[in-house]
Structure 1
């Protein structure tokens, strides 16, 4: 039995460059890879290059613009150089819409990156396309743009701000709902708020030896050590009270109400060098007023005027001002600025007469009444204990974080230096004599191994303070206790 042989013929007709028709069916032909001889090759290559640039710009702008918060831009706008103010003024409206800017740039970057393989496949084989895409995206789409924009983000962002506004308009329908969703979830405020400790570290970083190490900034803008101390002192003032800056009542020079302004008393007042001297009646905690030292020039020491008599006149004395020991130094500074007094008595607790309707921790006597009458009324029911005094100078020292020395302080320091030199000379001579005696009489070496306690006590008495002598050092060490 013979087999029937049926021949099948396929007839194909090319309809277009991309498709053929075979036996009535239309088939798409694979796209031919373009070469540089084709005009379309350069079109695809140009589009691919443009997509790399768009991806790089959006990636760099994302890093550069979003690294600038509204706080930094506000500082640059109000206190920067002319260029910085100009740039910050342009960028601030963009950065203030943080999430809208973020979504717009990321969406543009994603569209550019995802579109790149479409155009690269037509001009290269798959293996080359992978290598070129990874290299191009990594170098020109991520690393280089982000490095440049991180360094010069302010200037680049200001120049390209019109482009960013255009992208926001084009993608507004998509980016605006997403940005509002992020605002609801994460909040709109993305500014930086510095706490006190952070501000102190920031000030330290701009101080001498720490700022401008790379030499690219203006040296005149570097903070001096005095500026650093004052700024940090002002930041710490909130937590300091009158009790932390006061002078203990035991160290305060005061005059009794029963004293007389004779030669001896006036000499003591001049030697102390104080502008105001508290006057107490009976006990030192019962301060009844302040004696103004500069007004005593009108009095003659030969008259031996009683302090009680002087205190009756407003020309020579003022009422004492009392503050609580927990009063903040800033409040105390504002009180001193009123000019009524630059010295206040610090009390351990609030007295009966100090609890006014306003709740202030300060009581000031009526300036229209005689001083002694005022103090009699004040201390009739006052149970507060005076623990010290505080002056405007003490408050300023806490702000400056440095001691303020006047002429009297310098004279005292010079006198102390002279006495210290005498003490050192005596200690050296004593030590030499002991060594000489030890060499001539070895049996006394053990007995003379320690400094002479009696001489040490005499030197301490002459200096008015306790000290220790270490004669084993060269030169001998004098330590004040």
Structure 2
């Protein structure tokens, strides 16, 4: 009978090590790794994914299992040692079992599991899932208690991976040679998108070539084909009244088909409008979902303020990597070394750089805001303002604000 209890005790110690190792292995694998294993169709990966989707239940099951075998092992050891040594056996059992469980039930299995997390997790996924069902009554009860305690203590569920942690991982990947410099820079650029408005990358309306929809294909074909753009906003009457987008590829088809006397407005595609508050990452998702490549940006009053294309977004991701030369600002059209036309949203620091002047950014970041702060009102179209050694002429303005300005350095 003694040998039977000893064998049971050994088995319980083995399972103590098993549960400790499983706990370490499963915690070591994050969901990104598990999803990769599922894509690779590794055996047991789908079961492992199901387990990791409910981490609270998984950990509760493993801990319940581990505590059950540890308590059982301690009880049997106490029985055996008191049978052999009397009342002194309780102290002996406590000391011996503490050492055995610490070494064989914790340190060795956890060390091994941390070094072989993937292999162990895949191997034990199915039996652990089965155990989750077997221990359901225990896990439901303990889950209820732990959630109540969490509410009392005010604990909050944290994100698995924060943006800063992801940036750190990418940087480490680049430093260790796992990611190329270009790949790491592209990922960092994508992460910058969050919270960034389309106005940051759009081409302001003052720099957008627009086509009058009433003109014929013959009238505009030479002009359009000789330009570098592939798409043009088409307006009717007023430039704020955009009626569609002209695709140069479509234009060429009509030119080749000798349909050159058709009006441009007859061949345009539907224009897609977005508010200037639209964020870049949202727009990219919409471009992909709607299979579109260009959007007209409008302000809260419906006035056109610019144009943004899929190329603008892609340039934000890869442009600085493959083109180290600094491109001219999309907000500024340079006429000479001392004369420029700018969109009202042009940053003051870019104007300072373009003309080698020193307008203060204390009161406004954009030239439109700077002028309105200077005058304490919205200027009229055609109005001229002098400030130190520069002259600013309002090229375009509405009742809502300045649209474009010509700036001449004195």
- Normalised by the size of structure 1, how large is the TM-score? 0.47
Shift of 1:236: 6.2
Query: Partners in 2 of 1:93 and 1:289 — Cα distance?
Result: 47
Distance in 2, matches of 1:163 and 1:293, equals 62
Matched, 1:115 2:76: yes
Query: Per-residue deviation at 1:389?
Result: 1.3
- CA distance in 2: counterparts of 1:43 and 1:288, whole angstroms: 88
> How far has the Cα of 1:186 moved from its partner?
3.6
Aligned ranges 1:306-325 → 2 under 5 Å = 311=263, 314=266, 321-325=272-276
Residue aligning to 1:249: 205
What TM-score comes out, normalization by structure 2 length? 0.54
1:107, distance to aligned residue in structure 2 (A): 1.1
- Judge conservation of contact 1:64–1:152 (CA < 8 Å) in 2: yes
Partner of 1:394: 312
Contact 2:5 2:76 in 1 (8 A): no
Rounded Cα–Cα distance in structure 2 between residues aligned with 1:123 and 1:166: 40
Structure 1 equivalent of residue 229 of structure 2: 274
Secondary structure (helix, strand or coil) at the match of 1:402 reads helix
Deviations 1:228-268 (A, max 9, x none): 566666666574554343211222234678999999x9887
- Of residues 117-126 and 175-184 in structure 1, the stretch that sits farther from structure 2 once superposed is 117-126
Larger Rg: 1 or 2?
A: 1
Name the residue aligned to 1:136.
Answer: 100
Aligned residue number for residue 152 of structure 1: 116
Distance 1:168 1:114, change over 3 A: farther
Q: Equivalents in 2 of 1:345, 1:237: separation in Å?
A: 19
1:348 maps to 299
The question of 1:209 aligning with 2:209 is answered no
Aligned match of 1:359: none
Stretches of structure 2 lacking an aligned partner (at least 5 in a row):
149-156, 329-335, 342-352, 357-410
Correspondence 1:52-451 to 2 at 5 A: 52-65=13-26, 71=31, 75=35, 78-80=38-40, 82=42, 85=45, 88=48, 98-120=59-81, 122=84, 132-156=96-120, 159=123, 177-186=137-146, 194=160, 197=163, 200-201=166-167, 204=170, 207-210=173-176, 222-224=178-180, 239-254=195-210, 272-278=227-233, 285=240, 293=248, 295=251, 311=263, 314=266, 321-327=272-278, 329=280, 330=282, 334=286, 342-349=293-300, 384-398=302-316, 400=317, 402=319
Matching residue of 1:36: none
Structure 2 CA distance for partners of 1:402 and 1:284, relative to 1, 3 Å: same
Q: Aligned pair count?
A: 323
Q: Which whole-Å CA distance do the structure 2 matches of 1:94 and 1:278 have between them?
A: 51
Q: Could you say what the CA RMSD is over the residues aligned between the two structures, in angstroms?
A: 5.8
| Deviation for aligned residue 1:58 | 3.8
Instruction: Quote how far apart the aligned CAs of 1:61 are.
Output: 3.5
Q: Residues 269-321 of structure 1: CA distance to partner in whole angstroms, max 9, x if unpaired?
A: 5664122344667865455665555647988xxxxx9xxx8745635x66755
| Cα distance in 2 between the residues matched to 1:277 and 1:167 | 63
Q: CA deviation at 1:85?
A: 2.9
